Amino acid sequence: MVQDSSGWLKTNRAGRIALICLPLVFLALIFYYPLLRLFQEGVVEEGRLTFRYIQEVFAEPYFRHVILFTAEQALLSTLLAITIGLPWAYIFTRYGFPFKDTLRSLTIVPFVLPSITVAVGFILFFGNNGHLNRLLMSLFGLEGPPLRLLYSLKGIVLAHAFYNAPIITRMVHAKWERLDPAYEESAQTLGAGRVRRFIGVTLPMLLPSVMTGAALAFIFCFLSFPIVLALGGARFSTLEVEIYTQFIVLYQHKTGAALAIIEIVLSLLFTYGYIRLEGRFTQELEAAPIRPTIPLLRRRLTLGKGTVWLFVAASGVLFLGPMVSIIVDSFTREWAGRTVLTLHWYSYIFQPQHEALIGAAPLRSVLNSFQVGLAAMGVASLVGLPIAFVIARYRFRGRRGFDTLVMASLGISSVALGAALLAAFLRPPLQLSSGLVAIVLAHSILAYPFVIRAVVPALESLDRRVVEAARSLGATRLQAFRDIELPLIRRGLLVGAVFAFAISLGEMSATIMLARPELKTMPVVVNDLRAARSFGGASAMSCLLILVTGGAFIIIERFGERLFGGERWSR
Amino acid sequence: MVQVRLSAVTKRFGETVAVKEISFAAAEGEFVTLVGPSGCGKTTILRLIAGFEQPDSGDILFDSKSVLAVPPEDRRVGMVFQNYALFPHMNVWKNIAYGLKFRPGIDKNKRVCELLKLVDLAGLERRMPAEISAGQKQRVALARALAPTPQLLLLDEPLSALDAKLRESLRTQIRRIQRELRLSTIYVTHDQEEALAISDRIAVMSLGSIEQIDTPQEVYAHPQSQFVASFVGRSNQLEGVVIAIEKECAQVQVGNVFFNTTIRGATVNQGDRVALFVREEHLRLEDSEVNIIPARVAGLEYHGESTIVHLESSVGPLRALASEVANSLHLDEPIKVSFSQGNAILFTRSVEEKREETDFAKIRFT
Amino acid sequence: MWRRLLAIAVIGTAVYGLTGIGAEKLVVYTYSSFASWGAAPYIEEAFEQDRQVDVEFVATGDARMMLAKLIAEQEAGKPGADVFIGVEAGDLSTALDHDVFVPLTEDDIPNLASVRQDLLIDVTNSLIPYEHSYIALVYDSEVLAVEDLPRTFEALLEPTYENMIILEDPRTSSVGLAFLLWTIHQYGDPEYLEYWRKLLPNVLTVTSGWSEAYDLFLAGEAPIVVSFSTDTAYSVIEEGSNRYKILLPNSQAYRSVYFMGIVEGTQQLQLTKEFLNFVLSPQVQERIPSTEWMFPANRETLLPVLFYQNAVFPPDPVMVAPEEVGKNLDRWLREWSRIVVGG
């Protein structure tokens, strides 16, 4: 029985049901239908249901190895992400320092960078001939590179930690800074030392947020594709790579579909786990006051602060190194065996006329990215908001299952998605002739889960009495939504929307399958430039991408909101 | 300024019946309080009247017209919530003015200023809810509810989150405003003292039903059921057996003490097991002719203008409310306490009361 | 605000749809580097000049993805292109198996007569060559002195070259596939697997595509990469550097040919024939070296001097027959991945 805590008459209810069903119908059409069409190839043969292909996959040691490896690298990456993310959460919680808010906003930037950029940055910085190794070699007069991190599991795990440590940091920090110091203080009065206090009191209370962040990080690492390829190479095949091979190279649609099904089932399981954890996590985030911080830059250098600085330096190397390398690369050029500083790549990027290399002026791709990004943001918000409403406001059996299902696009192989959409858009009933619409739809599908995840906590933390108060004063349900709920969740919605925008900016795999030349977005151009041997140009374009993404996030954080950390109306 | 009537209203939530066939009415301009322990259904009734819940059976009428088909926004009911439910993103002025949006033709400025003056908050218009105190929030909530001139005012435990002094002053203020505006009001609280202080009539509720609805004086002096007797006011409860009945008088044996009590209303037979209620203030710290209990002072609670004397006696622990006499008492001092015949309230123990007793035992000395 | 965005999206779509009305349209699917840096812009401009036609190059991915896209569209009965440029020899049998292309003769394409004989691998000429090159090893002369070069396949297995070789994944890269076929040609089936097992310790990484591999090579991660024998020409001409040189193991190289074809079901059969003929014309073929960094298919084309001097033309190119590839590709790729992945 659906219990709506503030529902009313049947006529209104019909209207509301329509409003909520609309995005679901939309999703069913452009996401679930194409997906099922694709999947049915894996389980239907000659009109009959068969699990033969799935069984074949599990029977082959090779595929089992691939699946296990995918999980193994995801697990190791998550552990490293926690190892890096947790201390940063501590730093943010305990210390105050100038530009702390800006820094906190920027922590999410690695997450939305296109993997192609991150891969290049890592190679330039951590590679055997990268800046770090060369620096170490010249400092210590070494023969060969001392840090062989890349082209191995180490490289993959490191890059994944780069992406995902910020998520852990944000989630744990959001919880930690509202943890009542009274718990630790009472332990202190009972004689517990610092370490014991942390292990016995603080850590158990932080555990839900750590687990939630870890679950999310695990899902992303599990589905990671370009990073594994670029930094690991073919020796470290994951499920995604196999799916690509089966579909694109071998035209083995049945095996490919079987693999895609296995992948999405596993992702759905992880997503379900994440949702259950998240429920506990946001529930416990009460409107507690934020604990006070100690200024970091005060003169006294204690042992504690010393370790902090050391850690900051080390992780600074991890996060800034690759990005600085890309920036440096965009300003240099090889000529006659020498490296010279130049603005060549940037002038090339910014020239306004049609450039053969790209198929359009490079700036055009920036415009395309924005066009597509804004449209995708709009569609994702329109789809995500009503669904978030259903999840937050209504209590019904199987609610978490429903939540998991709508988050399914988070766990879908981008190759499979591209192939599915392509096949579905070619024929009725979904036949589309416009590439632009197809791309916007694909991006929206990939982005709307983030809108949901940002809005649901905002809705849940909203006191329902406020809506009732509005109604008792004369507002209809819709007016109450417009006047009260919408402004209060506006920030959550904004966060989700901007996140959707950023996801769209960085998306490449699905776009490649659906795009046309004039519609190339920035990541696609980065890819093309690399294919055209214009590696410097690719770096310049990447820098532009970093700038735009970073800028977008700084802007939203000025509103004082935090994604993946829950939200509490404070002003 | 409307008469509200509930007629055999029942509301279920899943398996639980929150409101059992409740019928009562509040006259125009009357201040009725629903009082009872948590879970008795009083808040549910309020929400039913406001329109946020629909009854499973029965009817709700405003001025003899059913409002079941009327949505909350059209019922013109002002509601004040327990934790104020102020709109956090609007300042005080906008909060109060919100309801006026839906009543065109009213001069907003004038009305808001009127209300700010009424609740004594002039000067705070620009503050945000997060920047004002709890007491101020409550007054804003009141002003907001009153702004669109509702025909009925509902208050759901509006003062329970405030400290004692503030509670007292605010409840007086609320009553004063209500009188001035002659607004029909239904007030919900679990604090029986509050209910007694400000209501025209009280409805004592338990487990979804109204035990008694009457003026505070009547409810206090003549409780109709054991539950009401124990919930309202502070009483000593003794259990005994009726030994003899003589006209309007019954002799009750409690332990090895015998009491004479006046029977009023209750049907008592010889041999009945009964509950005997004696209010704290009726237990006198002096010897008398009848109803004497030898006791010993077990504790003294100083309350300024009065003292509560805890006593140990052969019929169990007792409490007495005393004034200056108590100043001279010492612990463990033997003392005789007594009460007059007419000050005892007698209840026969029905099956239901037996069940209620288990709950009741916990709230004995409230 | 959302309404405005929706309007933008709708209008954008409409505008896009409106362009190209009037002229006849020719859609060419190709891979992104051909469309961007390659000969495509010149071809488009020159072809459109004398004719009332709008040539549109669609290149949103690598050659294989574009082919997959075309095949998917074909199966749905709605091919999105009239011409496909960019089928590599290794994928020849796959492409032909799907019956996507129209068989052609010299009557249809007069310039076919000028094409090098050894390149006409498809007997039906449904796919005709437009450029070719040779897969070989490219090395960094600043790291490897001439004496230290691995001159044979066996030499590549020596421990001195540990972590020094960059290879491409044959499943995702034509260059990688060519190298795999080369080892099969050299060692036979299934002995080639043993070779790979022994080669792996010397492989720094197996990248997904040629550009990634070359990227790593240029960044100095390893001194040997599998690439094209025409790469030296690029280095010299575009970067003024002699640093990167070609190595032919066992004095061999593996043939790499790129094909184009007319898509079955096109409405512009005559126009497409003219188009393909145009691509094979001397005027276009002349531009191939400097735009594609490959050898032109038309044997009568003159090569630019610097290109001629620096690109390596192997005396003895090898190739596995396409029918063999067609029969065994599936199995070979599977066996290869069993050895390499997790190895």
By the CB < 8 Å criterion, does C110 face chain A?
no
User: What is the average per-residue pLDDT within B224-229?
Assistant: 88
A549 to chain B, closest Cα gap in Å: 29
Q: Tell me how many degrees the CA angle B43-B45-B47 measures, rounded to the nearest 5.
A: 70
List chain B residues with CB under 8 Å of A4: none
CA distance C312 to C134: 8
Give which of A41, A151, A425 to mutate to test C binding, by max C Cβ within 10 Å: A151
Select the more confidently predicted residue: C319 or A294.
C319
In a domain? residue C100? yes
CA distance C132 to B227: 100
pLDDT, residue C185, reads 94
Per DSSP, the three-state class of A383 is helix
Residues C120 and C261 in one domain: yes
Convert the pLDDT of each residue in A501-511 to its tens digit: 877 877 776 67
B257-262 and A294-295 strand pairing = unpaired
B202 to chain A, closest Cα gap in Å: 24
Category of B343 on φ-ψ map: left (φ > 0), alpha (ψ -120 to 50) or beta = alpha
Q: Tell me: ipTM over 0.85.
A: no
By the CB < 8 Å criterion, does B50 face chain A?
yes
Count of residues making up chain C: 343
pLDDT, residue A570, reads 34
Inter-residue contact A161 to A213 (CB < 8 Å): no
The whole domain housing C120 covers 22-132+256-310
Query: b/e string for B225-252 if b means 16 or more Cβ within 10 A?
Result: bbbbbbbbbbbbbbebebeebeeeebbb
B316-322 and B307-313 strand pairing = antiparallel
Of B50, B86, B88, the CB nearest to A472: B50
pLDDT, residue A521, reads 78
Report CA-CA distances (Å) from A242 to A70, A154, C333. 11, 21, 12
Confidence of residue A406 (pLDDT cuts 50, 70, 90): confident
Put simply, the answer to whether A468 touches B99 (Cβ < 8 Å) is no
List chain B residues with CB under 8 Å of A489: none
pLDDT, residue A355, reads 53
B59 to chain A, closest Cα gap in Å: 16
Among the listed ranges A74-83, A502-511, B222-231, which one has the minimum average pLDDT value? A502-511
The answer to whether C and B touch (≥3 CB pairs < 8 Å) is no
Residues C177 and C304 in one domain: no
Helix (H) or strand (E) holding C271: helix C269-279
Least CA distance to C215: which residue of chain A?
Answer: A535
The answer on pLDDT for C86 being more than 60 is yes
List chain A residues with CB under 8 Å of C2: 378, 381-382
Q: Tell me how many degrees the CA angle A497-A503-A509 measures, rounded to the nearest 5.
A: 145
Put simply, the answer to whether A434 touches C13 (Cβ < 8 Å) is yes
Residues C208 and C278 in one domain: no
Residues C220 and C322 in one domain: yes
State both tokens at A12.
């209104």
C53-58 and C244-247 strand pairing = unpaired
Q: What is the DSSP string of A116-167?
A: HHHHHHHHHHHSTTSHHHHHHHHHHT-SS-S---SSSHHHHHHHHHHHHHHH
Phi and psi at residue B279, to the nearest 5°: -65, 150
By the CB < 8 Å criterion, does A531 face chain C?
yes
Confidence of residue A433 (pLDDT cuts 50, 70, 90): low
User: What is the average per-residue pLDDT within B190-216?
Assistant: 91
Of A234, A211, A239, A225, the C-alpha closest to A57 is: A239
The answer on pLDDT for B359 being more than 70 is no
The answer on pLDDT for A370 being more than 70 is yes
Inter-residue contact A238 to A245 (CB < 8 Å): no
How many structural domains are present in chain C?
A: 2
List A residues 451-510 in contact with C (Cβ-Cβ < 8 A): none
Least CA distance to B148: which residue of chain A?
Answer: A473
C113 to chain A, closest Cα gap in Å: 31
Give the count of beta carbons closer than 10 Å to the beta carbon of residue A11: 9
pLDDT, residue A6, reads 41
CA distance A417 to A244: 11
Indicate the average pLDDT of chain A: 78
Among the listed ranges A70-84, A517-531, B275-289, C31-45, which one has the minimum average pLDDT value? A517-531
By the CB < 8 Å criterion, does B152 face chain A?
no
Question: Cβ contacts of residue A448 below 8 Å, gap of 6+?
Answer: A27, A379, A380, A381, A383, A384, A387, A409, A500
The answer on pLDDT for A285 being more than 90 is no
10 Å CB burial of residue C318 (0-12, 13-18, 19+) is: middle
Put simply, the answer to whether A472 touches B79 (Cβ < 8 Å) is yes
Residues C138 and C233 in one domain: yes
The answer on pLDDT for A244 being more than 80 is no
By the CB < 8 Å criterion, does A357 face chain C?
yes
Q: What is the pTM of this model?
A: 0.76
Of A143, A149, A144, A158, the C-alpha closest to A127 is: A149
By the CB < 8 Å criterion, does B73 face chain A?
yes
Least CA distance to B71: which residue of chain A?
Answer: A8
Inter-residue contact A291 to A177 (CB < 8 Å): yes
By the CB < 8 Å criterion, does A422 face chain C?
yes
Give the count of beta carbons closer than 10 Å to the beta carbon of residue A57: 22
Residues C278 and C237 in one domain: no
Give which of C5, C25, C67, C325 to mutate to test A binding, by max A Cβ within 10 Å: C5
Report CA-CA distances (Å) from B86 to A61, A122, A289, B134, B145. 62, 51, 19, 11, 11
Number of cross-chain residue pairs from A and C with Cβ atoms under 8 Å apart: 202
Of C226, C273, C281, C272, the C-alpha closest to C249 is: C226
End-to-end CA distance of chain B: 35
pLDDT, residue B204, reads 93
Residues C125 and C260 in one domain: yes
Put simply, the answer to whether A469 touches B128 (Cβ < 8 Å) is no
A401 to chain B, closest Cα gap in Å: 23
Least CA distance to A489: which residue of chain B?
Answer: B89
CA distance C67 to A247: 12
The answer on pLDDT for B344 being more than 90 is no
Taking each helix axis from N to C end, the angle separating A303-330 and A61-94, rounded to the nearest 10 degrees, works out to: 120
List C residues 24-53 in contact with A (Cβ-Cβ < 8 A): 32-33, 35-37, 40-41
The answer on pLDDT for C13 being more than 50 is no
List chain A residues with CB under 8 Å of C71: 251
In a domain? residue C180? yes
Inter-residue contact B9 to B60 (CB < 8 Å): yes
Inter-residue contact B212 to B219 (CB < 8 Å): yes
Confidence of residue C116 (pLDDT cuts 50, 70, 90): confident
By the CB < 8 Å criterion, does C59 face chain A?
yes
The answer on pLDDT for B23 being more than 70 is yes
pLDDT, residue B358, reads 40
Per DSSP, the three-state class of A60 is coil
The answer on pLDDT for C153 being more than 60 is yes
Residues C142 and C205 in one domain: yes
In a domain? residue C9? no
Among the listed ranges A353-357, A402-406, B120-124, which one has the minimum average pLDDT value? A353-357
Question: Cβ contacts of residue C218 below 8 Å, gap of 6+?
Answer: A334, A535
Give which of B13, B49, B52, B108 to mutate to test A binding, by max A Cβ within 10 Å: B52
Convert the pLDDT of each residue in C300-311 to its tens digit: 888 888 888 888
Put simply, the answer to whether B89 touches A9 (Cβ < 8 Å) is no
Question: Cβ contacts of residue A105 below 8 Å, gap of 6+?
Answer: A553, A554, A556, A557
In a domain? residue C1? no
Query: b/e string for B64-99 if b means 16 or more Cβ within 10 A?
Result: eeebeebbbbebbbbbbbbbbbbbbbbbbbbbbbbb
Residues C223 and C294 in one domain: no
Enumerate domains of chain A plus CATH numbers: 1-38+359-564 (1.10.3720.10), 51-310 (1.10.3720.10)
In a domain? residue C3? no
Residues C97 and C244 in one domain: no
A90 to chain B, closest Cα gap in Å: 28
In a domain? residue C83? yes
Confidence of residue C165 (pLDDT cuts 50, 70, 90): very high
Convert the pLDDT of each residue in B285-318 to its tens digit: 888 888 888 889 898 888 888 888 899 988 889 9
User: What is the average per-residue pLDDT within A156-180?
Assistant: 85
pLDDT, residue C313, reads 86
Residues C51 and C35 in one domain: yes
In a domain? residue C281? yes
10 Å CB burial of residue C302 (0-12, 13-18, 19+) is: exposed
B140 to chain A, closest Cα gap in Å: 13
CATH code of C244's domain: 3.40.190.10
User: What is the average per-residue pLDDT within B230-256?
Assistant: 85
User: What is the average per-residue pLDDT within A267-281?
Assistant: 77
Q: Please count the CA atoms within 13 angstroms of the CA of C28 that sit on its side-chain side.
A: 27
Residues C203 and C272 in one domain: no
CA distance A82 to B121: 51
List C residues 276-295 in contact with A (Cβ-Cβ < 8 A): none
A571 to chain B, closest Cα gap in Å: 7
List chain B residues with CB under 8 Å of A468: 50, 52, 72, 79, 81, 85
CA distance C85 to C131: 10
CA distance B287 to B251: 19
Of A469, A476, A569, the CB nearest to B85: A469
pLDDT, residue A58, reads 86
Inter-residue contact C76 to A531 (CB < 8 Å): no
In a domain? residue C228? yes
pLDDT, residue C4, reads 52
